[in-house]
Amino acid sequence: MEIFQNILLTIATAATPLLIAAIGELVVERCGVLNLGVEGMMVMGAVSGFAVAVSTGNPWLGVLAAIIVGALFSLLFAFLVLTVATNQVATGLSLTLLGLGLSGMVGESFVGSAGVKLPSLYIPGLTDLPLVGRLLFGQDPLFYVSIALVAGVMWFLFKVRAGLTLRSIGDNHDSAHALGIPVIRYRYLAVMFGGACAGLAGAHLSLVYTPQWVENMTAGRGWIALALVVFASWRPWRVLAGAYLFGAVTIGQLHAQALGFGIPSQLLSSLPYLATIVVLVLISSNRRLTMINTPASLGRPFVPDR
C-alpha cells in the first residue's frame, strides 16, 4: 500500500506543472490567441524562481518571482502579436528559443547550487491517514493551487459574464469588436494570465519537482501542455484528466526503468512524447469534434482599424 501511495504521489507531482501551464494556455486560446512560447515562459519561470529562492532563502519569494517573470515574458509576446500584429506561430517559437537561451545564461551561476524546496502541507491527524492522508493532505501547496485554478477557470469561463465575453472573442473577434467589446484588452489580460501560469509551472519544477537548476529542465513540458489543451478540446476538466494521464505515463516509464524491463531506456524516456503524438493524431482524425470545440478565431490576427 505504501508503494502504491508513493506512486500516486509522484504522479500528482509530475502532473502539477503540466496542469498549471495547460490551464493558463487554455484561457489564452479561448480568447483566440495561440501562444507557442509556453516552453520559454516555463523555463524562465523555473530559473527566476530558483535564483530568487536561493538568493533569499525563501521559496515563496521564488514562486512570486516566477509568476512575475512569466507574466512579463508573456507581455512581450502580447505586444508583438496584438499591437504589432506579428505572426503568432513565429513569435511564439521565437519566444521559446529566447527563453531557452536566456535561462541558460541567467542560470549558469546557479548550476550545482543547493535548492530551496517549497515545504509540503502537513495537517496533524489528516496527513497521517493511511493511503489518502499524504495524497489529499500532504501535497506541496502548488498542487492545491493547480486544482483551484481548474475550478476557478471553469467557473470564470462558463458562469461569469467576463468569461463568456472572452469566449465570444475567441469565437469571432470581429463581431465582438462590432459590439464594442475591447478585444485587445481582453487578449492582453488573457495572455498575461497564461504567462503567469507558465511561470508558476516552471517554479514548481525548480522548487518542488527537482529543487535545483538544470539548463533546459522543462524538457518539452511546455509543448506537452499545448497538446493537452487540444487533447482536452478546450475544456478545463478535461485538462485536469489529461494532465494526470500524461503524468502517469511519465512516472510509469521511470518505474519501468527501475524494475529493469528489457526495453531500451531511451525508448522508455520518449514515451510521454510518443503519447502526445498518438493523442494528437487520434484527435485530428475526428474533424467534426475538433471543429466544434476549436475557437474559430484561434491564431487569427486582429487589427481594429483594418
Please indicate, yes or no, if residue 299 is contained in any of the structural domains. no
Give me the domain span that covers residue 161.
2-293
Is residue 211 situated within a structural domain? Answer: yes
pLDDT one-digit tens code per residue, 139-189: 999 999 999 999 999 999 999 999 999 999 999 999 999 999 999 999 999
Cα separation, 168 vs 190, in Å, equals 13
Q: Give percent of the chain above pLDDT 90.
A: 61
115 within 8 A of 207, measured Cβ to Cβ: yes
Distance CA 22, CA 35 (A): 11
Give the model's pLDDT for residue 260.
65
Check which CATH number belongs to the domain holding 74 and give it: 1.10.3470
pLDDT at 75: 96
Assess if residue 44 is contained within a domain.
yes
Instruction: Give the pLDDT confidence of 254-302 residue by residue, as tens digits.
Output: 766 666 666 676 676 677 777 778 877 777 777 776 667 789 899 888 8
CB 27 within 8 A of CB 196: no
197-236: per-residue pLDDT in tens?
999 999 999 999 989 999 999 988 999 999 899 888 899 9
Residue 157 CA to residue 176 CA, distance in Å, equals 16
pLDDT at 144: 95
| Residue 306 belongs to a domain | no
Does residue 301 belong to any structural domain of this protein?
no
E strands, the chain, are none
Is 137 a member of any domain? yes
pLDDT number for residue 262: 64
The chain-wide mean pLDDT, for the chain, equals 89
Mean pLDDT of 20-36: 96
Find the mean pLDDT for residues 9-22: 93
Q: Which residues contact 186 (CB under 8 A, 6 or more apart)?
A: 31, 165, 166, 169
Domain count for the chain, please give it.
Answer: 1
Which residues lie closer than 8 Å to 259 by C-beta, 6 or more apart? Answer: none
| Within a domain: 303 | no
Q: Give pLDDT, residue 305.
A: 67
What distance in Å separates the CA atoms of residue 67 and residue 146, rounded to the nearest whole number? 14
The whole-number average pLDDT for the span 236-251 is: 88
Residue 239 has pLDDT above 90, yes or no: yes
pLDDT: which is higher, 116 or 286: 116
Residue of 274 and 138 predicted with greater confidence: 138
Which DSSP string corresponds to 54-69? HHHS-HHHHHHHHHHH
pLDDT at 249: 83
Dist. CA 278–CA 259, nearest whole Å: 25
pLDDT of residue 134: 83
Is there a domain that residue 300 lies in? no
- Residue 108 gets which letter from DSSP? G
- pTM to 2 decimals? 0.92
